[in-house]
Structure 1
Amino acid sequence: MKLCAVQLASRKGDFEANLARHQHCIEQAAAQGAGLVVFPELSLTGYEPTLARQLALPVNTPRLAPLQALCDRLGISVAAGLPLPSANGVLIGMPILRPGQAPLAYAKQRLHADELPFFAPCDQPFVFGGGEHQIAPAICYESMFIEHALHARELGADLYLVSVAKTAKGVREGYEHYPQVARNLGMPVLLANCVGPADTFIGAGGSAAWDRQGNLLAALDERQEGLVILDTAAQTASCKVLDLGRV
């Protein structure tokens, strides 16, 4: 199976502009043969905690219909980032759209301290099927705790799908941690990070893929918008830089 991590600069609070950029990236990923695409944390709104409450949408919102239609047409699954409302507060969510099926949703379980004023944690671990894989999504901070990946492995996951909004420091720490996850738990790791302004920091890119032995297969730099394509059967990966300036 081929999976794709999208490295993207989201437009602050602009759902419609970000939706158009997502559609373009999904089409490009499908052209590369990807069966599943993952975007950075809160990609549809940008990582903007102070705006999250006003931007939150349920996973069955009609505003995601264009993405669902694209999934149906291309036969591709998409894991995007979106604040999700809940009875306990706004969640850092990941709608998962699949061709011809109802959407799923995952939400971040472990929050960083500076996220607590704006978001509520979720308490539901989650693994979903994608092709021949059982896939565990992980959202940024929680992915830096081996316990999260270990619990997912116990639930049957064989691939770790990481969606983040990380600074340069966070990327460096991730490049130390994610190979250990892959090597110790025997499952590939695919990382999607943002680039450009986000909240009070600059997204540092570095989206990458590691094989199940922890070897770095491919990575984008800190500036490029683009795709990392992981072929799990061949244990290979490649990058494609995208020009999204007009999208």
Structure 2
Amino acid sequence: MTALTLAAAQTVSIAGDLPENIARHRVLMRVAAEHGVQLLVFPELSLTGYEPSLATELAIAPDDAVLTPLRELARELRLTAVVGMPIRLSSAPQVLIGALVMAADGSLAVYSKQHLHPGEEAVFAPGAGGAALMWGDERIALAVCADFSHASHPRAAAALGATVYAAGVLISEGGYAADTALLQGYAAEHTMMVLMANHGGPSGGWRCAGRSAVWCERGGLLAAAPGVGEGLVLARREAGRWSGQHVGI
């Protein structure tokens, strides 16, 4: 098995401020690269904050030039970044909750949230998901927040051979215990390493819990952020074994 380092980026998004959020993403990408991270996953709607009232105005095509600084840095650092953004596809006018895969080779892929949280249908349409990422011996399935609340989602990923389940989320203080119990359970049930990237500050009226985390394929906690604020939670696999680390910013 080849060595692999993944990370959850815990961010504090500024509502609707795309330039400032891009700048903060670039900082976290550079720190991740310094720690050898090859795949960095950001929270749900990380580039705008979780702001449904602003999403229609802010939604862009996945290949919009405004995101060029992130794509160029990903290529420069040889790091793949998965960032959260409201998007519109050329095939349909609806706004989707996107996770944009800005690959180290300069390519771009799109994952769109399949399962909406109650109330999101007023602004967003359900998406179609997206292909898993292949990384040596690993098959990395993506998820966005409420996707994982449907047990069929991680089950389908596991059935297709996923060894890692990586979710960009917004989880509040009130929902943290139940949601992380689900994610930990999926790790053990499906023998998948599970990564969760959560917001590290308030967003969209929610008091986000932070505490981004990674669990090994037996369900044990590898590492977690201690609370809110920005930082990285790393998962490294060497010689077939996963280890974790929290990196404060």
Q: TM-score range by the shorter chain?
A: over 0.9
Determine the structure 1 residue equivalent to 2:159: 154
User: Which of residues 51, 58, 63 is equivalent to 1:60?
Assistant: 63
Task: Please report the TM-score for the alignment, with normalisation by the length of structure 2.
Answer: 0.94
Deviation per residue, 1:169-214 (Å, 9 max, x gap): 2221122111110001001001100022211211110100100000
User: In the TM superposition, what are the counterparts of 1:186-201 in structure 2 within 5 Å?
Assistant: 186-201=191-206
Deviation per residue, 1:200-232 (Å, 9 max, x gap): 211110100100000001111332311001013
Task: Please report the TM-score for the alignment, with normalisation by the length of structure 1.
Answer: 0.94
Is 2:37 aligned against 1:30?
A: no
Partner Cα distance (2:104, 2:145) in 1: 26
Determine the structure 2 residue equivalent to 1:103: 108
Partner Cα distance (1:219, 1:114) in 2: 29
| CA drift at 1:124 | 3.9
Segments of 4+ moved more than 4 angstroms:
none
Uncovered stretches (5+) of structure 2, i.e. residues with no partner: none
Any idea what SS the aligned residue of 1:89 has?
A: coil
Given that 1:111 and 1:121 are in contact with CA atoms closer than 8 Å, whether structure 2 keeps it comes out as yes
Deviation per residue, 1:108-144 (Å, 9 max, x gap): 0000111110100013453122343211111111112
One-letter code aligned to 1:198 = S
Given that 2:9 and 2:41 are in contact with CA atoms closer than 8 Å, whether structure 1 keeps it comes out as yes
Deviation per residue, 1:8-51 (Å, 9 max, x gap): 10010000000000000000001011000000100001110110
Determine the structure 1 residue equivalent to 2:245: 238
How many pairs does the alignment contain?
Answer: 242
Uncovered stretches (5+) of structure 1, i.e. residues with no partner: 243-247
Given that 2:59 and 2:87 are in contact with CA atoms closer than 8 Å, whether structure 1 keeps it comes out as yes
Query: Identity rate of aligned residues, in percent?
Result: 36
Partner Cα distance (2:247, 2:170) in 1: 20
Given that 2:12 and 2:229 are in contact with CA atoms closer than 8 Å, whether structure 1 keeps it comes out as no
User: Which of residues 46, 54, 74 is equivalent to 2:77?
Assistant: 74
Any idea what SS the aligned residue of 1:196 has?
A: coil
User: In the TM superposition, what are the counterparts of 1:83-122 in structure 2 within 5 Å?
Assistant: 83-86=86-89, 87-122=92-127
One-letter code aligned to 2:242 = Q
Partner Cα distance (1:93, 1:123) in 2: 10
Partner Cα distance (2:131, 2:77) in 1: 25
Any idea what SS the aligned residue of 1:135 has?
A: strand
Given that 2:171 and 2:179 are in contact with CA atoms closer than 8 Å, whether structure 1 keeps it comes out as no
Partner Cα distance (2:53, 2:188) in 1: 37
Any idea what SS the aligned residue of 2:134 has?
A: strand
